[in-house]
Structure 1
């Protein structure tokens, strides 16, 4: 298998114009003494919305790598792929986020479930693992219930992985299994059962993305019980370490925290755990770069500001349409969305401050930010007009992109 680095960080680039600006953030972090490998990701759904192809992500990333002389690791992620969508990603990706959320809750055969339960008596009982907040109490009935919920999904992950490995060669593949886009979070005991099933399926998984308790809404901070997240995250790290030793999973296996949310309140919790345990991490902030483009265009004034206002006005007229696919990961109060006439009267800095995620700014509006986050296909409708303005205002837009990733994400997460 292709061995993943200890720390990897996923960045989205909806319109393939910000790879160099994104890479600058990783260069700045390297100057701080912390190496994190950038992972450019874009899902099939996003490609469909903007009319792009998977190869474009690789091409943009490769151009940035060569232009800036980056000599450290980097990857391109086939984000949230399934068997029906993976093939166009195989030639141009080396990181594959295998999404099996649709199969969660669909039961495998009773024979397969019974065989799994019988094969894993070590999962039953009081499990005291190093680093756990408290021992795991797992009954045989618990193992069966988790197998009924997840075994078919794991088998699907195995099928997808083997399809990729057969086509590309296992030595060229980093496998991630994603279970985060589902309704119910996976508890640490459930994660242990799932990892045992993955080992049985012989998938050399290097990152696993469970769903955590709480809300990871698009473009805004985590909403939930920070103490509960801290217990879950720390316990998941302990479970992964145990599963690596017990089931022969790759030593590089690490936890992945997904979603297009900003996770500012979680970064201190995650950073403390990584420093204490020496664990690795993969984390994604997909989508926020598109918001920084809008902020940059607003700050640029003129035609850029005019288009930013048009995009917001159109999104406002199509709230239900744009929000429907993301209903589980946004919380927008329509009464908190200013009308188009009001926004048309704003200056560029005023509009930028409403969207830019600085929570103590009196003008910050989380509802506007979430709406614009899920409205990126409006920019795609403008085609060359949008991308030409990105090129025209490359410096100011790029500075917003770099500052956001470095100052608000990478540095708080890995440096403090």
Structure 2
């Protein structure tokens, strides 16, 4: 590269492999970065560069796929039973901060993680999510394993775009098939409901279930006794969810062919707690049906709400997690305990690590978006004031699909705050939740301005994310 070219192009990362050079470059008077390929440019699309044999390529899905074929560490892979964390990035620019935080912790990262709901609200596709993460993996020089999580898949139709985009971790959310009413049904009602279950798909019968489970199980420091009512309640409440997970697994197996993948079952977004007996029943049935699940997300005691610490008695949760961990050990420690809505639960992390011995998957999402708003409050208070008031106006509607308890009246309007007070809202319970769950509406209205702000302060945003996740990952270091 000549000195004249160096003056016009700023190299931000470079890899040389098999006689070909790959560089991300910033070009003055252009929008964002480009990929400069010098050497074998076959498979890439772009325009000829000033260097002989080079091609300047836009960061398109096609060029991302071509680069993944050349540099295998840019492909997401299954992470197995390592202590792991998922880093949802609703804006597509937080991954450098996630990488900076996870480096040298021993925690296996999932850098691409979005649900169908989140993609619908942000206007992004599964391919865009995984490609945005991949470009950051390349730019930051991360060459360790990383994963991509298709989060909260509810229907068969949710699966194909994530498979096509190369995801390796599939979170099945059969919450719509969980019968929360079973919690208060009498025995006659439970038996009537049990008769309507899909026993053919479950490959068993109610009589067989009773023979297998209506007894006492002595686990690692835990004794579980299933009487008739407790067992039939567990069956009615969760057998439909187990059956739906089997349906989703079969779709995945057909779609993925011989590609390796991991499956998580998530029942955290339901109306009732997952008891230890119910966890045991779910795990036993998934095992019997040869469902290769790598993690399970129950609904714990207390409340795991968006963007705030655990709400409830930590002593009770400690006992609860110990019980869940004992069940995992009983089944050979073949899966992890997954902490959904896991961001900012600083009191929970040491408990989960201690009881599971590191068989934990932490899942975070909106907290990275909140750090973007924290930065905005510092560098562009006028814009933050607009976002705050807009979020207050849209909270009651946007909260409907979330478990949150923020009280709108506890969050002041921007006109009642000085500039120095604005960043403090990102440390206040009610304000965090109001800002958290309104992200879709805010991005529809302020997305361009927010992204421009983050582009202008990219290094600062990386620092904010790293500082925030350093606190999250401290308890998970291995």
Cross-structure match for 2:446: 382
Against the structure 1 CA distance between its residues 5 and 333, is the aligned structure 2 distance closer, same or farther, given a 3 Å change threshold?
same
- Picking from 257, 275, 278, the partner of 1:190 is 278
Pair member with larger Rg: 2
Unaligned 5+ residue runs, structure 2? 1-76, 181-192
Structure 2 counterparts to residues 92-171 of structure 1, below 5 A? 92=165, 93-105=167-179, 107=193, 109=196, 112=199, 115-119=205-209, 121-132=211-222, 135-169=223-257, 171=259
Unaligned 5+ residue runs, structure 1? 245-250, 356-363
Shifted more, 382-391 versus 15-24: the winner is 382-391
Structure 2 counterparts to residues 326-365 of structure 1, below 5 A? 326=402, 329-343=403-417, 345-347=418-420, 350-355=421-426, 364-365=427-428
Helix, strand or coil at the partner of 2:451: helix
Q: Answer whether contact 2:343 2:364 (CA < 8 A) is retained.
A: yes
Displacement of 1:110 in angstroms is 5.5
Cross-structure match for 1:411: 474
Task: Please tell me the root mean square deviation across aligned C-alpha atoms, in Å.
Answer: 2.1
Cross-structure match for 1:63: 135
Cross-structure match for 1:361: none
Cross-structure match for 2:459: 395
Q: Answer whether contact 2:84 2:108 (CA < 8 A) is retained.
A: yes
Cross-structure match for 1:360: none
Helix, strand or coil at the partner of 1:318: helix
Question: 1:237-283: CA deviations, max 9, x gaps?
Answer: 11122134xxxxxx541111101542111122123224xxx341111
Displacement of 1:111 in angstroms is 7.7
Against the structure 1 CA distance between its residues 412 and 299, is the aligned structure 2 distance closer, same or farther, given a 3 Å change threshold?
farther
Against the structure 1 CA distance between its residues 98 and 111, is the aligned structure 2 distance closer, same or farther, given a 3 Å change threshold?
closer
Cα distance in 2, alignment partners of residues 265 and 119 from structure 1? 38
TM-score (norm: length of structure 1) = 0.86
Cα distance in 1, alignment partners of residues 415 and 207 from structure 2? 62
Question: 1:310-334: CA deviations, max 9, x gaps?
Answer: 11011112231222222xx211122
Question: 1:145-180: CA deviations, max 9, x gaps?
Answer: 211111111111111111012111354211000111
* 1:76 aligned onto 2:148: yes
Displacement of 1:188 in angstroms is 1.0
Displacement of 1:412 in angstroms is 3.3
Cα distance in 1, alignment partners of residues 280 and 296 from structure 2? 11
Displacement of 1:128 in angstroms is 1.5
- Picking from 245, 268, 280, the partner of 2:350 is 268
Cα distance in 2, alignment partners of residues 405 and 176 from structure 1? 23
Cross-structure match for 1:325: 401
Against the structure 1 CA distance between its residues 139 and 163, is the aligned structure 2 distance closer, same or farther, given a 3 Å change threshold?
same
Q: Answer whether contact 1:175 1:207 (CA < 8 A) is retained.
A: yes
Displacement of 1:18 in angstroms is 1.0
Cross-structure match for 1:247: none
Higher helix share: 1
Q: Answer whether contact 1:20 1:68 (CA < 8 A) is retained.
A: yes
Query: How many aligned residue pairs are there?
Result: 383
Helix, strand or coil at the partner of 1:216: coil
Q: Answer whether contact 2:342 2:364 (CA < 8 A) is retained.
A: yes
Against the structure 1 CA distance between its residues 80 and 159, is the aligned structure 2 distance closer, same or farther, given a 3 Å change threshold?
same
Displacement of 1:413 in angstroms is 3.9
Cross-structure match for 1:6: 82
Question: 1:382-410: CA deviations, max 9, x gaps?
Answer: 2322211110011112211111011x200
Helix, strand or coil at the partner of 2:434: helix
Structure 2 counterparts to residues 209-228 of structure 1, below 5 A? 209-228=297-316
Q: Answer whether contact 2:376 2:384 (CA < 8 A) is retained.
A: yes
Helix, strand or coil at the partner of 1:172: coil
